[in-house]
Structure 1
Amino acid sequence: MRSSMTDRRGGVRVRRAVARDAKRLTRLVTTSGAYEGPYAPMVQGYKVGPDYIEAHEVHVAVDDEGRVIGFYALVLSPPELDLMFVADEAQGRGIGRLLVGHLLGQARRAGLTAVRVVAHPPAEGFYLSVGAERTGTVEARPPAVMWDRPELLLTVDGGP
């Protein structure tokens, strides 16, 4: 499923990720300020590889200088937002909302009615602000995940 490159906000466009984006996406995950402190072990050594990009709906937000400043990964079956990161220096500019809007468009084109989100606890407020509804809690699974996480649902007809 290809997307148009017309989804824009303030000089930022969204496009399908390609294999050469893998290192930058990995860097966005592993250097995210949201995963500092007790959350750091979860992303330590994490890798977004070319095979992952090929297997899922991975889309990147690119600024007007061509830099990848955010991305999301949508798993179509079962429908779930697997990853979403915005570069620390790009936060607060509407990039996350742009990505969620694009994600909902991709989900709609794929015939989905909703997308599950298991959120990083500090990100729950963001997902609620873009229209997600809390549906429950996913319990910790040590040693991989040491804390409970909010489970939310993004309805495809809604969104930012």
Structure 2
Amino acid sequence: MSDITIRRATADDSRRLTRLVRGSRAYRGDYAAMVDGYQVGGAYIEHHPVFVAVDGTDRVLGFYALLVDEAELDLAFVADAAQGLGIGRLLMEHMAAQAKGAGLAAVRVVAHPPAEEFYLRTGAVRTGSVPPTGRIHWERPELRYDVA
């Protein structure tokens, strides 16, 4: 993992991040509706702190988006081929440092149900659940990272 870099995403990363989201095997079957047609647009990337983990060839391994005004982790994905390599943990550590640097005390996460265990392992605590809305027909775990 020594050649892993976390850098600020740019609008030029939009297609690669969108492909990562839409291709994630965590969103197959019942969960496919959550990412169907989803796009990580250039304007979104330019407006919010979005950080991407890349290898030495600039291959995207994962990314996250932090909504500072809402104190919320909006997106967090690790490429299927990079699962289990510690990329997610690196991204969450980076996110916590960014949030703390922005003056946040905590960061809210509304998680994809299968990802709850990952968030718990990386320091989040469960605070409740979010009821189904729109195309999402299941409860989602609500968690919090304390970063202050």
- Tell me the TM-score normalized by structure 2: 0.97
Residue 66 of structure 1 deviates from its aligned partner by 1.2
Quote the residue 2:65 is aligned against. 73
Cα distance in 2, alignment partners of residues 83 and 28 from structure 1: 11
Which of 28, 34, 38 aligns to 2:30? It is 38
Residue 10 of structure 1 deviates from its aligned partner by 3.0
Letter in 1 for 2:49: E
Quote the residue 2:10 is aligned against. 18
Cα distance in 1, alignment partners of residues 71 and 136 from structure 2: 21
Percent of pairs with identical residues: 59
CA-atom RMSD in angstroms? 0.8
Query: Does the alignment pair 1:149 with 2:145?
Result: no
Cα distance in 1, alignment partners of residues 119 and 140 from structure 2: 13
| Partner-residue secondary structure (3-state), 1:98 | helix
Number of equivalenced pairs: 148
Which of 115, 119, 129 aligns to 2:121? It is 129
Cα distance in 2, alignment partners of residues 46 and 21 from structure 1: 15
Quote the residue 1:27 is aligned against. 19
Query: Does the alignment pair 1:85 with 2:77?
Result: yes
Letter in 2 for 1:111: G
Letter in 2 for 1:89: A
Letter in 1 for 2:61: I
Task: Kindly report structure 1 stretches of 4+ aligned residues shifted beyond 4 Å.
Answer: none
Quote the residue 2:40 is aligned against. 48
- Tell me the TM-score normalized by structure 1: 0.90
Letter in 2 for 1:135: T
Cα distance in 1, alignment partners of residues 84 and 52 from structure 2: 17
Q: Which runs of 5+ in 2 are unaligned?
A: none
